[in-house]
């Protein structure tokens, strides 16, 4: 009798699942969420766009493996942006974005290792500010 609600699919668990799936929409819906997304994503966009311009237009030599990772990252970011703002697939947007950040980290670590630039340092400072902002917001909410 104690396990019966778990076996029949209790409505509270279904509602909790729906709240989890819609939690990303609540995050972005306010002004704070939009600022947070902008601070987190714009530096990564800038680094990827600069790498794409260097590799495909200026013909900088990169091993084929890292070109594949760059293409994979670009496709994942593109899918994430396609699904952004649609209620039916809101939870997929962040999942595709998170998947793209793993591959972007591998590519950016390789590509910018021997190519330090002002853009790289500014983007890394922006990501540091994003971490500080996130930490300060968490402390403020306590």
Run of H or E including 140: helix 118-141
- Give pTM, 2 decimals: 0.70
Q: How far is CA 69 from the centre of its chain?
A: 16
**Nearest-CA neighbor of 107 among 54, 65, 60?**
65
- d(CA 108, CA 100) in angstroms, rounded, equals 12
| Crossing angle for the helix pair 31-52 and 118-141, to the nearest 10 degrees | 160
Going residue by residue through the chain (142 aa), what tens digit of pLDDT does each one get? 444 454 555 556 667 666 665 655 555 556 777 777 788 888 888 989 999 999 999 998 999 999 999 999 999 999 988 887 777 666 788 888 889 989 988 998 898 888 888 888 898 898 888 888 888 888 988 8
Q: What is the pLDDT of residue 10?
A: 53
Residue with tokens 């714009």: 42
């Amino acid at each position: 009798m104690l396990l019966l609600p778990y076996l029949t699919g209790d409505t509270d668990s279904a509602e909790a699942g729906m709240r989890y799936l819609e939690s990303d929409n609540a995050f972005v819906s306010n002004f704070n969420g939009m600022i947070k997304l902008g601070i987190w994503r714009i530096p990564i966009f800038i680094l990827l766009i600069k790498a794409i311009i260097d590799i495909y237009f200026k013909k900088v030599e990169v091993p084929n493996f890292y070109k594949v990772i760059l293409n994979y990252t670009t496709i994942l970011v593109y899918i994430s942006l396609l699904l952004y703002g649609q209620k039916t697939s809101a939870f997929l947007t962040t999942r595709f974005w998170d998947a793209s950040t793993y591959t972007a980290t591998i590519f950016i670590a390789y590509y910018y290792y021997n190519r330090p630039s002002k853009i790289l340092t500014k983007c890394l400072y922006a990501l540091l500010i994003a971490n500080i902002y996130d930490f300060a917001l968490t402390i403020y909410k306590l």
